[in-house]
Amino acid sequence: MATILRLREIRKVWRIERTGEEMVALGGISLDVEQGELLVIVGPSGCGKSTLLQIVAGLEQPTSGAIEVTASNSHQKLTGMVFQEYALFPWRTVRENIVFGPEVRGVPKDQREARAQALIDLVHLKGFEHRYPHELSGGMRQRVALARALANDPQVLLFDEPLASLDAQTRKVLQVELVRIWQETKRTFIYVTHGLEEAVLLGDRVVLFTARPGRIKEVVPVTLPRPRSITGRREAELLDYLSEQIRDEVERALQAEGLT
C-alpha cells in the first residue's frame, strides 16, 4: 500500500498569553498514513488528537516538524474535514450546503449539481435535498457534513469525533455507513475518537496516543474481517487489549488535571 502522508516529529506548543507559560500539546508525532486506509486515533482527553488533525488540515501550523505529502494527484484537494458540530450553514438547504465548496472554487453549475446529487445518493439523503439543517436529525446533519466534505474531492478525509454527540443507536447506524462510504469512495480516512469500541469497529490501524504531551504509544493493526461486531470474540479481545494499553494514559491525564 502506498504512503499518502508522512508526519515527521510533529510538535505543537501553545503559549498561554495571560501567564506567558507554554503548554506542549504534541511531543513529536511521526507516522506514515497509507493510501486508502481507515486510520483511527484514540487517546485520553487533551492529548492533542484534534490538534494533530488541524495541523494535517492546514488549520494550524506545527511548532516544529513537517508533513510530507506523497499523494500522486497534485491537482486534487488534499484534505477535507468533518467536525462533531456539523458546521453547516443554517440558511442553506442540504443541496446548497453540499455545493458550497465547489461553488466557491468556481466549478461550473452543471458539474457541481451533478456532484451534489451523486453525494446525496451516496449518503442516503435523497428526498431531503431541499430541507434546512434545523429540519434534520443529528444523524442526517452529519451525513450532510460528510457529503459537503466529499464535494471538494479531497484525497484524505479528516474526522474529529463526528459521532460523539449522537445517541447510541444513531451512532451504530452511522458507523456502518461510514465504513460503506469509505469502501465506496476509496478515500483515505483519518478518524479521531474517544471510543475504543468505535476504533475496533472502524479502523485498519489504531494509533494510541499518550497523555499530554501527545506521543504515539503504539500503532495496533486491525486485521479482523468486515463487517465487525463488538460482541465477536476477536473484537472483544482487541478491545480488552486497547483498554489495557490506554488505561495508564487516562490515569495520567486525570492526575495532570488534579482529578485523582
pLDDT in tens, 4-18: 999 999 999 998 877
pTM: 0.93
User: Is it the case that residue 150 has pLDDT exceeding 70?
Assistant: yes
Q: What pLDDT is attached to residue 73?
A: 59
Q: How is residue 35 written as a grid cell? A: 493510501
Q: What pLDDT is attached to residue 75?
A: 59
For residues 192 and 27, the answer to whether their CB atoms sit within 8 Å is no
Q: What pLDDT is attached to residue 250?
A: 84
Amino acid at 21: E
Q: Give the tens place of pLDDT for each residue, 26-63.
A: 999 999 999 999 999 999 988 999 999 999 999 999 99
Cα(248)–Cα(258) distance, integer angstroms = 15
Q: How is residue 216 written as a grid cell? A: 504515539
Q: Give the tens place of pLDDT for each residue, 82-123.
A: 988 878 999 999 999 999 999 998 999 999 999 999 999 999
Q: Give the tens place of pLDDT for each residue, 158-200.
A: 999 999 888 999 999 999 999 999 999 999 999 999 999 999 9
Q: What is the CA radius of gyration of the chain?
A: 19
Cα(250)–Cα(16) distance, integer angstroms = 24
What's the chain's length in residues? Answer: 260
Cα(196)–Cα(188) distance, integer angstroms = 20
Q: What pLDDT is attached to residue 18?
A: 78
Question: How many angstroms from the chain centroid is the CA of residue 66?
Answer: 20
- Bridge partner residues of 231 (DSSP): none
- To the nearest whole number, what is the mean pLDDT of the chain? 91
For residues 37 and 105, the answer to whether their CB atoms sit within 8 Å is no
- Mean of pLDDT values over 217-228: 94
Cα(10)–Cα(174) distance, integer angstroms = 31
Cα(212)–Cα(250) distance, integer angstroms = 10
Q: What pLDDT is attached to residue 208?
A: 96
Q: What pLDDT is attached to residue 16?
A: 81
User: Is it the case that residue 141 has pLDDT exceeding 70?
Assistant: yes
Q: What pLDDT is attached to residue 256?
A: 72
74 confidence band (pLDDT: 50, 70, 90): low
Pairing of strands 188-192, 38-42: parallel
Average the pLDDT over each of 76-80, 120-124, 141-145 and give the range with the smallest value.
76-80
User: Is it the case that residue 20 has pLDDT exceeding 90?
Assistant: no
Q: Give the tens place of pLDDT for each residue, 245-260.
A: 998 888 887 777 666 5
- Where helices occur in the chain by DSSP H, the ranges are 49-57, 94-98, 100-104, 109-122, 138-151, 168-185, 196-202, 233-256
> Is the CA virtual torsion 104, 105, 108, 114 positive or negative?
negative
Q: Could you give the C-alpha distances from 39 to 45, 63, 102, in angstroms and in order?
A: 19, 24, 27
For residues 197 and 164, the answer to whether their CB atoms sit within 8 Å is no
Q: What pLDDT is attached to residue 72?
A: 61
